[in-house]
Copies of this chain bind each other. A is one copy, B any other.
């Protein structure tokens, strides 16, 4: 259905260009343009942080007026957040400067920024770099673009899927960045996914929101929700299949599965590349009374510095997980019904250490690079997963040094 593909497939109707604009550091790809053919439609979900960055505010305004977006422009090195009225003017200038180079309206451009917060965006350098980015535009530049949006990321993040809809192959390709300040809330750091599927514009946003809720909204590195989170879905409409006009149609379900597969791969890549991360941890909570309480327990575990440092040390100090379950906010939790598994190892039964549990078994699992913590609350039918990483010495080093 949605086979992973090893190479990044171009999406008909999308061209990408990258430049070195010297925004924060010299000799570094830091400016990316995505040019979308006429006929494209775009949906976005954005950070719920009240200190939403200036470009996020411009995105919201432009998308409220039209989904017929023609270009995306992204700078790294500076988040243009906490920058007040001048920041807003700078975000608008990113659009007005790019528009004539592509022959589109400024209102059809969406701007994105990521980097340090509360410093003025060097807008002159952004503007000066745009012609080079436009000159670089090509359908095959997805990996270059993934590199161009990196900040503290150590690896570019990109994924492709192909799905056959109505007998016609349809492509979904996406890129993302993010390694710290990661607890997306309705969106991720920056993620851009494009498809050539033909979709009624009004379906794009609900489809994207559903996908975000199952993928980017379930990962966390450090619990810090960024000011600049944005996840964008582009549909260029250039594939030859019959148009998708209802969310419950077979075509919509096929497309959604492909978009979700790309989004999940990108979201997992963000966790695996979490600042200083050495382990990928799935926290699966079962038997909850509601999805919300499964999430609350999952996040309590995933955010606990004590749990995260124990995983960094490969130390099965698993009582720390119980402590996090206990303070996750379920007022009527009966701890005598709680079970805990580390992968296949049954650690806690009925709220206490399982009689057969041997520390050597916990130790064995803790050595792995991929670990699943499974909590069984035994109070309902709800299930939910959160994905996170450990807290390492390198996380502190990276964030103590970020600006230097």
Mark A residues whose CB is within 8 Å of B: 48-52, 79, 81-87, 116-120, 180-181, 183, 185, 222-227, 303-306, 309-310, 312-313, 315, 317-320, 322-327, 330-331, 333, 335-336, 348, 350-353, 391-393, 395-397, 399-404
Chain B residue contacts of A48, Cβ below 8 A: 327
Quick one: closest B residue to A303, CB to CB? Answer: B223
A-B contact pairs, 24 of them (CB 8 A): A50-B327, A50-B333, A50-B335, A51-B325, A52-B326, A82-B319, A82-B348, A82-B351, A82-B353, A83-B353, A116-B317, A117-B320, A117-B323, A119-B319, A183-B327, A185-B327, A305-B305, A305-B395, A305-B399, A309-B399, A313-B400, A315-B400, A317-B403, A393-B400
A303 to B327 CA separation, bound complex (whole angstroms)? 15
Decide yes or no: A350 and B84 within 8 Å by CB, A118-B319, A313-B400 being known contacts. yes
Q: Are A309 and B118 in contact (CB under 8 A)?
A: no
Q: Are B327 and A87 in contact (CB under 8 A)?
A: no
Q: Are B402 and A391 in contact (CB under 8 A)?
A: no
Minimum distance in angstroms from A115 CB to a CB of chain B: 10
If A82-B353, A116-B319, A393-B396 are given as contacts, then 14 extra A-B residue pairs at C-beta distance below 8 Å, sorted by A number, are A50-B326, A50-B327, A51-B325, A82-B322, A84-B350, A84-B352, A181-B306, A222-B304, A224-B305, A224-B306, A227-B323, A309-B399, A310-B399, A317-B402
Q: How many protomers of this protein does the assembly include?
A: 2
Query: Sorted from nearest, which 7 A-B pairs have the closest CB atoms?
Result: A84-B352, A117-B319, A51-B326, A118-B319, A313-B400, A309-B399, A49-B326
Chain B residue contacts of A117, Cβ below 8 A: 317, 319-320, 322-323
Chain B residue contacts of A87, Cβ below 8 A: 352
A222 to B308 CA separation, bound complex (whole angstroms)? 11
Minimum distance in angstroms from A41 CB to a CB of chain B: 29
Interface centre among A86, A120, A335 (most CB of B within 10 A): A335
Q: Are A351 and B84 in contact (CB under 8 A)?
A: yes
Quick one: closest B residue to A311, CB to CB? Answer: B400
Interface centre among A85, A117, A325 (most CB of B within 10 A): A117
A222 to B222 CA separation, bound complex (whole angstroms)? 12
Partner of A323, one of B49, B303, B335, B393: B49
Q: Are A401 and B352 in contact (CB under 8 A)?
A: no
Quick one: closest B residue to A317, CB to CB? Answer: B403
A189 to B21 CA separation, bound complex (whole angstroms)? 52
Minimum distance in angstroms from A46 CB to a CB of chain B: 12
A345 to B323 CA separation, bound complex (whole angstroms)? 39
Q: Are B226 and A323 in contact (CB under 8 A)?
A: yes
A51 to B79 CA separation, bound complex (whole angstroms)? 41
Q: Are B49 and A118 in contact (CB under 8 A)?
A: no
Quick one: closest B residue to A185, CB to CB? Answer: B327
Q: Are B400 and A81 in contact (CB under 8 A)?
A: no
Minimum distance in angstroms from A274 CB to a CB of chain B: 11
Q: Are A222 and B310 in contact (CB under 8 A)?
A: no
A238 to B185 CA separation, bound complex (whole angstroms)? 57
Decide yes or no: A306 and B227 within 8 Å by CB, A117-B319, A322-B118, A325-B50 being known contacts. no
Quick one: closest B residue to A87, CB to CB? Answer: B352
